[in-house]
Structure 1
Amino acid sequence: MSGVPFIAIEGPIGIGKTSLAKKLSVHYDFHLLKEIVEENPFLGKFYDDIDEWSFQTEMFFLCNRFKQLEDIEKKFLNQDKAAVADYHISKNMIFAKRTLQPDKFEKYEQIYHILTRDMPVPNMMIYLHASLDTILERIQMRGRDIEQNIKASYLAQLAQDYEDYMNEFEILHPDIPVIRIDGDKIDFVKHQHDLDGIIEQVDKQLQSFRAMRR
């Protein structure tokens, strides 16, 4: 685990991870790590035909996230510079388990564990969650063309997968605090007081983190 603050933000597609990461990056003057999404050349095809294009899509994401985390460790965390990311690399397994056929998942899992064995681990997680209606509304609002063909049933299953994943994450990583944000009740993009409430929770965790390292 990093000796400086390294915050990861997670949650389903369209929930506002990047928006929150940007706001926290500005507020705390932390380096912003954004996942590569639209640059994935397979993503549009994936949403049209998940079975056909899932392996290529997931491998592209895995390799790019590995490279990003490798860079962030060398250039920032190892230089005592804090960072906030709009993803946690273990999200790859959420999608891979859902989209890959068993034979391809086995190969993917082996590669995943080799690549992530020595990757930096966040010391704080923010989990954004919301109902399917809210997720669909936010996806529509941001208007990415490649996301317009996503099936509601896929998003609903993904939201449940995230919930299961985060519940397991808290059990497996009791030393990493998780801040849960209900997107049905909180809109930190439109309302400053909602953002202030999140920052207040992050402040408490940062104070605890720094106290432990004195």
Structure 2
Amino acid sequence: MKKVPFIAVEGPIGVGKSSLAREIANYYQYRLLNEIVEENPFLGNFYKDIDGWSFQTEMFFLCNRYKQLEDIEKYHLNKNEPVVADYHIFKNQIFAERTLQSKQYEKYKQIYYILTANMPEPNLIIYLKAGLNTLLERISLRGRDIEKNIDPAYLLQLTKDYEQFMGKFINDHPNVPVLTFECDHIDFIKNKADLEAIFSKIDDQLFINN
């Protein structure tokens, strides 16, 4: 049976997820799903005081992403409309485990697994990774007010958490292909050849899956 393409672009803050997802959507004429970020009313306080605002922040993201995926499944995937998202809901586990206290995290996990049971899963993951200097530079360039207080140490730890999580994900989900791109060495916004190289890799996977 032919699979409806559902691509998720993932990676740490500032790596270029939204930009690449938008390019993919335009190139393949897929429905674009953008995660809700700046709409989170707790995020600004979170970057100032992670311990004090982590639970509210993570619960807002979880509930909104759940609703987005529910709508995407109902109105698009079930109607054979391909989708590209600039996130995978698994990222909630990465952030929550890093920021929540142990008792909060245990409660959070219970809610997470209830909400995500039987949710649509991407059949292709694109994992973007980059070093701290690249991430800080790109965060600065996009100029979001709520990101001005991001602690570089937190961002560095987040990149390590992503790397560890993705290694486990690849081992645990052998049937879900993961394309990894080192964004310290490519610029798919300014360099058309870099973007075309990414499209070529995606083409290969779409052909295999279908």
Q: TM-score with structure 2 length normalisation?
A: 0.99
Q: What are the residue-to-residue correspondences of 1:127-146 with 2, within 5 Å?
A: 127-146=127-146
CA contact (8 A) 1:8 1:87 kept: yes
- Cα RMSD for the two superposed structures: 0.8
Q: What are the residue-to-residue correspondences of 1:65-144 with 2, within 5 Å?
A: 65-144=65-144
Note the alpha carbon deviations across 1:55-93, whole angstroms, 9 max, x for none.
Answer: 000000000000000000000100011000000001000
Q: 1:53 aligned to 2:53?
A: yes
One-letter amino acid of the structure 1 residue matched with residue 126 of structure 2: I
Alpha-carbon distance in 2 for matches of 1:63, 1:139: 25
Stretches of structure 1 lacking an aligned partner (at least 5 in a row): none
Q: Which residue of 2 aligns with 1:172?
A: 172
One-letter amino acid of the structure 2 residue matched with residue 199 of structure 1: F
One-letter amino acid of the structure 1 residue matched with residue 202 of structure 2: V
1:8 alignment partner, SS class: strand
Note the alpha carbon deviations across 1:162-195, whole angstroms, 9 max, x for none.
Answer: 0001111100110011000100011101111000
Q: Which residue of 1 aligns with 2:31?
A: 31
The Cα shift of 1:199 comes to 0.2
One-letter amino acid of the structure 2 residue matched with residue 8 of structure 1: A
Alpha-carbon distance in 2 for matches of 1:119, 1:198: 27
Alpha-carbon distance in 2 for matches of 1:80, 1:149: 41
Alpha-carbon distance in 2 for matches of 1:143, 1:149: 12
Q: Which residue of 1 aligns with 2:207?
A: 207
One-letter amino acid of the structure 1 residue matched with residue 65 of structure 2: R
Stretches of structure 2 lacking an aligned partner (at least 5 in a row): none
Alpha-carbon distance in 1 for matches of 2:46, 2:16: 22
Aligned pair count? 209
Alpha-carbon distance in 2 for matches of 1:154, 1:92: 16
CA contact (8 A) 2:3 2:209 kept: no
CA contact (8 A) 2:51 2:100 kept: yes
| 4+ long deviations beyond 2 Å | none
Alpha-carbon distance in 1 for matches of 2:6, 2:165: 20
The Cα shift of 1:118 comes to 1.0
